[in-house]
Amino acid sequence: MNTTLAHTEPELIKKEEPERLSGILVHPTSFPSPYGIGDLGPGAYEFIDFLHASGQRLWQVLPLGPTGFGDSPYQGFSAFAGQPLIISPDKLVKLKLLTEQDIQDSEMPAWDPRKVDYGPAIQYKTRLLKKAWTAFSHTPDKTLLEEFELFCEEERYWLDDYALFMACKDRHEGRRWLDWAPDILDPTAETKKAYRAKLSSEINYYCFVQFIFQKQWIELRDYAHEHDVQIIGDIPIFVSLDSADVWANKKQFQLDTKGYPLCVAGVPPDYFSATGQLWGNPLYDWAYHKKTGYQWWIDRIRRQLTLTDYLRIDHFRGFEAYWSVPADEETAINGKWVKGPCEDLFHAIEKALGENLPIFAEDLGIITPEVEHLRDSLGFPGMKVLQFGFGDLNDKNYVPHFYTNPNCICYTGTHDNDTTMGWYKEQPEVIRDRIRRYGNTDGNQVSLDFIRFAMGSIARYAIFPIQDLFLMGSEARMNTPGVAAANWAFRYTKEDLSADRSQWLLRTTKLFGRCALDEEDYTL
């Protein structure tokens, strides 16, 4: 018997537990930048440096696609394309596609350093990108031209339709595709060919913009990897009706013969809204996707995992069952649950891309045992949001000392929550008192308390919005679900990335075993 133990003990000793990691949630639009909106220039690199100095190994972003009306990253023109607004003018200068004079001549407004004003920012960035395109059209840089040609060839499977879609949208003065000319509304291959010839310059411009986005993003991603930082991407389960995805792939969605949705996506009444949330996205025809071997989804996941290291899928529960609302309803109340593709979809993705997919499941809202089984059978980490746990005296799912499975992500809050400082201020005294006693704290820096709670939990991953690290109130909230205006505008300044805050975060991260301890740290 002792011999058996002697043989098994070395294996137990050598077996390493998965790393405990932590990081910050902040979208690139929130970075400091002199151009009205955060971008992939110096402010992004300074943020990576801050993460590295602070012992953080993760950076989580929102969806990176081009946004449409309302500026929401979750309602974009493409599930594959990148956001032109975060292209860095400074890096275009380094490529000799812009000059400092170009930037000065582009009538740059006076920007609020803590808020994105999307209208002027879109106009300004578009002027710069079109100047850069003109310069690129005459560049003698053969290497850059070869890179562009290779990009267009490798990304043709989504880029061709996206660039044509955007060129046609411009030709129709920005109107949604349902209001376009009849011949391009549901075009044949011959019609697409004719439009590509007619709009070749505009199409090439949109291909160029995507080429520059990817070039700048990959450079930043590589810099993050060099500094031991991995990126958590994000995709919404559904796509926007006014998108290249729906326009070019109508058979994949539940649409009538004219292209209008039969039913739309949403969620029933929940924490955020008494009437539910009516998102309005068209629903998938899952039977059609199954016939095609889920190729569109395989392409989508593969594409995003070339840009990021992990992938958070928003509204994961919709793969088990989704809330289907008749398209003529004004609220989400009168919907019904319809069965989704469940494991079948993810097994197809695993077969194509490999097992152990680095996917995080956003499993908030109305979660059933069936959803939990789907998540756990696939091995995907779920989410624990501290604001939910402490905001409900009877909820044991999200309070750290009740966690039983380390395969999860503990968040102080998400982009849809108020900042923790703002949230705490609005809570009844009984909730605030509970938090103070839980953390043995006075609550004056409650967002830092919540970061400590997350760090100290058994959750393998601890993530917090950058606003919580900066002790910011409700004025810094990123999004209020169900409210159409004044969202997605938060920005911070370079001064917020202080050495004091970095040192506090590093000490806290080391204390809870989420980054390596140096010899001198054992005195902590």
Please, are residues 144 and 91 in contact by the beta-carbon 8 Å criterion?
A: no
CA atoms within 13 A on the CB side of 58: 27
* Tally: H helices and E strands in the chain: 21, 12
Catalytic residue among 416, 418, 449, 468: 416
Burial class (CB in 10 A: 0-12, 13-18, 19+), 9: exposed
Q: Which of 63, 355, 84, 313 is nearest to 212 (CA)?
A: 84
Other beta carbons within 10 angstroms of residue 266's beta carbon come to 23
C-alpha 178/C-alpha 260 separation (Å) is 8
One-letter amino acid identity for 513? Answer: G
Taking the C-alpha atoms of residue 409 and residue 60, their distance in angstroms, rounded to an integer, is: 12
Which residue is catalytic, options 39, 161, 245, 314? 314
Helix (H) or strand (E) holding 411: strand 408-411
Distance between CA atoms of residues 101 and 5, nearest Å: 74
Return the closest-CA partner of residue 448 out of 383, 507, 384, 505: 505
Strand arrangement of the beta sheet that strand 321-326 belongs to? 277-282, 263-267, 321-326, 336-339
Spatial contact of 106 and 128, defined as CB atoms under 8 Å apart:
yes
Q: Tell me which H or E stretch contains 323.
A: strand 321-326
φ and ψ at residue 442, rounded to 5 degrees:
-90, -5
From CA 485, how far away is CA 29, in angstroms rounded? Answer: 17
362 is catalytic: yes
Distance CA 92, CA 95 (A): 5
Separation between Cα atoms, residue 423 and residue 475, nearest integer Å: 11
Q: Report the alpha-carbon distance of residue 179 to residue 333 in Å, rounded.
A: 29
> What's the token pair of residue 281?
């996205």
Residue that is written with structure tokens 């100095």 in the block: 53
Paired with 338 in beta bridges are 322
Please report where in the chains the tokens 């098994």 appear, as a residue.
8
Which of the following is catalytic: 71, 362, 363, 418? 362
154 is known as an active-site residue: no
Element of type H or E holding 25: strand 21-25
* 416 is annotated as an active-site residue: yes
Catalytic positions: 314, 362, 416
